[in-house]
Chains A and B, each alone.
Chain A
Amino acid sequence: MRMSKVALWVVLLLCAVPSLAEDRTEVHLFQYGRTSSDLLSIAFVDFRDMLEEKLPRLSAEMMQTEATNPALSQLRLKSVTDENGVLLRPEARIGSLDDKRRYWRQTGALSVLTGHVKQQGGIPYVYTTFYWGDLRGPYPEEMVQLVLPVVGESFDNTSDSHSVAVLYAMAQEIKQDCKNTAEIIFLLSEAQKRARAISGDLPELSAELENMVIAAIKNIRSECSGD
């Protein structure tokens, strides 16, 4: 009896350790709003498919250079669905900001994506609220607003606002005090280049994201080199 209790505790401990140490690598996506028309609904489906393909590619690009953290290879999109595979609307799980915070803490998500789709000048635009909870770093808010036009040119590999936010959150996630500074700055540097890449289409967002990334790099420099 006593032995079985000990065994049970050992099993529980073994199960608990990896889950505690598990990195946040999943971007959780909820159903976006204002997708009632066919055009906007299709635009959202395209956006979701694109994110699904983009995240593994982004991680592959990082892993081929300076970044070696194995968590990066796990980067992926997770669509939050019901038992029938239908995307959940945010109100089903994260109706309030407190719900969102709780969801982020309990699920171990890297970030939680909600938003809406809107047509402007004949082009559907995706507006995303990218919630990153405690991974905000020096950024003052626990979420950032992103925009992406859903047109062929914006499909564009991994140079977009969502890739910037994912790299920023990932850098905060794998940061280990000052032990892996080079790797963290590498991710942030890649985010900085991508933030600048959208300056032509979305100059304000580009500047905001670039400032956010540079502030994070300066923060690391002051923490780790005493500058």
Chain B
Amino acid sequence: MVTRRAILRLFVVLWLLLWVTTGSAVQNPDQITVFFPAFEGPGKLGLNVSTVLSLQLAQTTRRYPWPDNPDHHEFGEAIIRWSAEPLEKYSVSEITEVAQKKNLLAQIVIVGKARRYSKDIVVELEVLLPRYRSPQPAGGTITDGEKNDFRQKNFETWLIDIGGERIQVDLPKRYFSISTIVLKPEIVDRYGAASGLPIRESIEGGRVLGETGDQIRFIEFNKRLPGAPAKIRSGGVVGYVSLPELSDEASEFADMVGGILQVFRGDWQWAINSFTNVLENPKTRTPLKVDALLYRGMARFKKGGNGLSDIASAVELAPYDATAIRYLVMAHLANGEDKKTIAEILEQKSLLFGGNDHWLKQVRRFLEVH
């Protein structure tokens, strides 16, 4: 016979289980790796610029139990693998091959080059997000030859499980350029020959203890302080490195790539903050703006809100972009919009999709069945 106390105990256990599963805290068991080979460039300039940018990027992350994390989210490890040597080749297939080596398995790769253009020294930046095999591919198919990065959760995938169909969209882009950074002349002078960035004894500055070398380990970030001093360990020296302003204009680099890094980690709030910075930056060009809107819209949905207006803005900027239309349909599906609206969008935009488009077939199947 089941006693009242047993029922009460069962109720408490169930309530606790439910509380755990529906709690807002994110749990990410996976490590996200950003690979940052030294940039090509004259003297030590490429190396030093890539060090500064990697530190800027590292400062866009938060982790448990650091400050700014009141909900005790656990976003997993974000590791920046930094190489003192530039890559030998820069084609997408070759960068992908390096990124997917078993001892690296990077999800984000930043490659760059510092070079003279007109009277300026500019830094070109490209971002590659190598494709890995999804642990739960929509449609149950695994593409031949896709490498496995052994992650359990793929927060970057927007997957909607609806009416027996698992419909998902890929990231807006897997390879793209960031606006060129025009280096300040004093940066070129100071870091063209310096073997590394000075490591100082205290957060306020003080004595120089050494310089950054081939290996850097990030210990602490202070993004809000002037110079955003980062505590690091490099070559056995522990101290603070201040990050110089590379350019007169704020680059979208740290915000865009930082936002993408937070999407991979499932840190939706900080992803939204980062993409907002990208969208508020007057330097951001339309192609990147469209992607930032799509990412922010998806992040808002994943956080439990509504990102439709962001995605609709992206479609307004790029009305013939198939990816933007996919995201728009996903937004309507996520909002439980009536099927007529979705069917009308697909009807109007059908020419944007190839005859064998897997995603389109899935959505149409869903519309027919339900």
Q: Identify which of residues 90-120 in chain B touch chain A, using a CB-to-CB cut-off of 8 Å.
A: 91-92, 117-120
Asked whether any CB of chain B lies closer than 8 Å to the CB of A193, the reply is yes
Q: Which of B92, B321, B351 contacts A60 (CB 8 A)?
A: B92
**Complex interface: stretch among B150-158, B176-184, B297-305, B334-342:** B176-184
Q: Which of B178, B180, B317, B322 contacts A152 (CB 8 A)?
A: B180
Q: Are B124 and A193 in contact (CB under 8 A)?
A: no
Per-residue interface assignment for chain B, residues 325 to 356, with 1 indicating a CB less than 8 Å from any chain A CB and 0 otherwise? 00000000000000000000000001111100
Asked whether any CB of chain A lies closer than 8 Å to the CB of B286, the reply is yes
Asked whether any CB of chain B lies closer than 8 Å to the CB of A151, the reply is yes
Q: Which of B126, B285, B318 contacts A57 (CB 8 A)?
A: B126
A98 → chain B closest CB, angstroms: 36
With A46-B118, A153-B182, A193-B286 known as contacts, the answer to whether A185 contacts B351 (CB < 8 A) is yes
Residues of B with C-beta under 8 A to A196: 286, 317
With A151-B120, A182-B351, A182-B353 known as contacts, the answer to whether A156 contacts B285 (CB < 8 A) is yes
Q: Identify which of residues 186-221 in chain A touch chain B, using a CB-to-CB cut-off of 8 Å.
A: 186, 188-190, 192-194, 196-197, 199, 217, 220-221
Residues of B with C-beta under 8 A to A188: 320
State in angstroms the CA–CA spacing of A197 and B176 once bound together: 15
**Complex interface: stretch among A2-10, A61-69, A137-145:** A61-69
State in angstroms the CA–CA spacing of A160 and B352 once bound together: 24
State in angstroms the CA–CA spacing of A155 and B119 once bound together: 12
Q: Which DSSP category, helix, strand, loop or mixed, fits chain B's interface? A: mixed
State in angstroms the CA–CA spacing of A221 and B350 once bound together: 10
Residues of B with C-beta under 8 A to A190: 287
Q: Are A155 and B180 in contact (CB under 8 A)?
A: yes
B76 → chain A closest CB, angstroms: 26
Q: Are B117 and A152 in contact (CB under 8 A)?
A: yes
Asked whether any CB of chain B lies closer than 8 Å to the CB of A172, the reply is no
State in angstroms the CA–CA spacing of A60 and B94 once bound together: 12
Q: Are B322 and A182 in contact (CB under 8 A)?
A: yes
Q: Are A151 and B286 in contact (CB under 8 A)?
A: no
Q: Are A46 and B117 in contact (CB under 8 A)?
A: yes
State in angstroms the CA–CA spacing of A220 and B352 once bound together: 11
State in angstroms the CA–CA spacing of A56 and B178 once bound together: 16
Residues of B with C-beta under 8 A to A181: 351
Q: Are B174 and A50 in contact (CB under 8 A)?
A: no
Which of chain A's residues has its CB closest to B354's CB? A182
Q: Are A50 and B117 in contact (CB under 8 A)?
A: yes
| Extra inter-chain contacts (8) besides given A66-B323, A153-B179, CB under 8 Å | A43-B118, A50-B117, A60-B92, A150-B117, A151-B119, A156-B180, A159-B177, A225-B351
Binding site for A on B (CB under 8 A): 91-92, 117-122, 124, 126, 173-180, 182, 249, 285-287, 290, 317-318, 320-323, 350-354, 357
